[in-house]
Chain A
Amino acid sequence: MNLPTVPEPSPRNNASHPLGDDGVVIQLQNVTVRYRVPRERFRTFKEFAIRRVQGRVQFEDLLALDNVSLVVRRGEVMGLVGANGAGKTTLLRLVARVMRPTLGRVVVIGRVAPLLAMGAGFHPELTGRENVYLNGTLLGYTRQQIEGCFDEIVDFAELRNFIDAPLRTYSSGMMARLGFAVATAVMPEILIVDEVLSVGDIAFQEKSAARIREFREAGATILLVSHGMDTIRKMCSRAAWLLHGEVMEVGEAEGVVEQFEKFMEVD
């Protein structure tokens, strides 16, 4: 497969572009994400307006990510570990362009396929075929692209006989298969995987794992979040450990997982 490489730096951008020719595809520079939540819930606009004018609204800052810097190079499989609420999902959202950092800078080179959004926008009343197009365009494909790989999607999902039936007649496994097939129909440069290696039955799980392996061998970069430490050890070349929005450790997967496990036991 012919993979796109890092764009040649144009002379104009040379000075300011943070990424050189060192194969960096994801870079987070001192990234902070701060959710600003009112300390108390205001049930009505009126209540809020009155308190606001009186200057009595207090906001609480919730730091989802606190001055995080991270670099991922092309072809790496980077694992993210950490307890719930450590900021893993927020980090994935930044890379997937779903949100912008409050502070700092995020640079991503290449098309991102977020497997967090498998089956996004699926509508039960529409047929499998209609859902493929809807879901595909939500993921940023054009209509032409979907037409081009439609048969491949259907075959991969093993839904040839059901593709014109309404989605509400599908089992959850069938829906998951269709979602995975659409999300991975066009090889992305960066794949975001959030604990979804268990899609469908065992046979399909192996098939989807094989496809992700295939992408990795073809040079795709993978960002993987999992609570299964064995998965991280097996799949990842490097890993990062997040704790309360801060990066505790980045490095070779084995070592990071070991430290994280030790910490969790102590805790």
Chain B
Amino acid sequence: MIKETPLTNTARTQVYDSARQGFAPLVEFKEIWRYRDLIFFLVRRDVTARYKRSVLGVAWTMLNPLGMMIILSVVFSQVFRMEMEGYPAYVLSALITWTFFSQASSSAINALVWGGDLLQRIYIPRSAFAVSAIGTGLVNLLFSLVPLLAVTIAIGIPLHPTLLLVPAAIIPIVMFSLGVGLLISTIGIYFVDVVEMYQVLLAAWFYLTPIIYPLEILPESVQGWLWLNPMVHLVELFRNLVFYGVLPPLQEWLVSFAIAGGTLLIGWLIFTGKSDEFAYRT
């Protein structure tokens, strides 16, 4: 635990005492705040470096979901003959939230489990990589709101005033993604297999979430079970605001925040409790 002691000559000296650890979850939180500039530059690196050599650059963050949407729309309207008004916007509104969740949580896990070299050479708050992965995902998510709005307008769906509440619906998705990322990477310290398993799990999870199909096409008995999937709540919250223009009932907000907050809390407690192990596992 680092403590700063004011000195007479205005300089501050850090005192590190391994025996005085403090309450790890709280200490880690303070450390992340102290290293906020690092988070900023890590996010900037991930956003810019990825596209630096491509011609279209950052535009890819918008073109990617757009391409996915076109493929899914064609497949589902032409091949499966699914009739639904405004299907492209329907898919896209859930697709960008799903993409955020799957990418942010996976890259948090990869950075922590495979990017360990750095964590063994210098001290940085261990959760910095996970937090910055979420930050990068958030930037990409904001970018992909542009094609979402463009498609919504293009196919003649009115822009609902509920769009203004979108930031509030993004918060639980961010919290949930960070929580899952921290949980899986903590397990990943002990069993790297879990990281691979997570990718498979994500593929199944995608189909267990009403992203490309409406929840209503499922038999009612199945629908009830599906609500046990946290992502159903988070995706529907977002989709209600963006696609249907419906203000979700207070109960749905509470459930979403409770699920997300609980996941983050558990993830944070377990991760910070075990984070010293990262330096011990080579």
Judge whether B122 and A108 touch: CB under 8 Å: no
Q: Could you give, for residues 30-42 of chain B, a 1 whenever the CB lies within 8 Å of some chain A CB and a 0 otherwise?
A: 0000010110111
Q: Could you give, for residues 167-194 of chain B, a 1 whenever the CB lies within 8 Å of some chain A CB and a 0 otherwise?
A: 0000000000000000000000001011
Interface residues of B (CB under 8 A from A): 5, 7-9, 11-19, 21, 35, 37-38, 40-42, 44-45, 48-49, 52-53, 118-124, 191, 193-194, 197, 276, 279-280, 282
User: Which among A2, A8, A45, A120 has the greatest number of chain B C-beta atoms within 10 A?
Assistant: A45
Judge whether A107 and B18 touch: CB under 8 Å: yes
Interface residues of A (CB under 8 A from B): 2-8, 10, 35-36, 44-45, 48, 93-94, 96-101, 104-111, 114, 116-117, 120-121, 123, 125-126, 130, 133-134, 137-143, 166, 189
Chain A residues whose CB sits within 8 angstroms of the CB of B14 once the complex forms: 108-111
CB distance from A84 to the nearest CB of B (A): 15
Chain A residues whose CB sits within 8 angstroms of the CB of B49 once the complex forms: 123, 125-126
Chain B residues whose CB sits within 8 angstroms of the CB of A141 once the complex forms: 37
Chain B residues whose CB sits within 8 angstroms of the CB of A96 once the complex forms: 122-123
Q: With A4-B12, A93-B279 given, name 15 new contacts (CB 8 A).
A: A2-B11, A4-B13, A45-B197, A98-B119, A100-B279, A104-B18, A107-B19, A109-B15, A116-B121, A117-B122, A120-B122, A126-B49, A138-B124, A140-B35, A189-B13
B40, B121, B193, B197: the one within 8 Å of A117 (CB): B121
B8, B9, B17: the one within 8 Å of A105 (CB): B17
Could you list some 25 contacts between A and B, CB below 8 A? A4-B7, A5-B9, A5-B13, A7-B15, A10-B5, A45-B193, A93-B120, A93-B279, A97-B16, A97-B123, A98-B119, A100-B276, A101-B18, A106-B17, A106-B18, A108-B16, A109-B13, A110-B13, A117-B121, A126-B52, A130-B41, A133-B41, A137-B38, A140-B124, A143-B40
Judge whether A4 and B11 touch: CB under 8 Å: yes
Judge whether A48 and B191 touch: CB under 8 Å: yes
A133 to B25 alpha-carbon distance, docked (Å): 28
CB distance from B19 to the nearest CB of A (A): 4
Tally of contacts, chain A with chain B, CB under 8 A? 122
- Lowest 10 A-B CB distances belong to which pairs? A99-B279, A7-B5, A137-B38, A97-B123, A4-B11, A117-B122, A106-B18, A143-B37, A105-B19, A117-B121
User: Which among A35, A108, A141 has the greatest number of chain B C-beta atoms within 10 A?
Assistant: A108
List the B residue with the shortest CB-CB distance to A109: B15
User: Which among B21, B119, B191, B276 has the greatest number of chain A C-beta atoms within 10 A?
Assistant: B191
CB distance from B26 to the nearest CB of A (A): 17
Chain B residues whose CB sits within 8 angstroms of the CB of A133 once the complex forms: 41
A10 to B16 alpha-carbon distance, docked (Å): 15
A130 to B46 alpha-carbon distance, docked (Å): 12
Chain B residues whose CB sits within 8 angstroms of the CB of A143 once the complex forms: 37, 40-41
Judge whether A5 and B7 touch: CB under 8 Å: yes
Judge whether B17 and A120 touch: CB under 8 Å: no
CB distance from B192 to the nearest CB of A (A): 9
Chain B residues whose CB sits within 8 angstroms of the CB of A97 once the complex forms: 16, 123
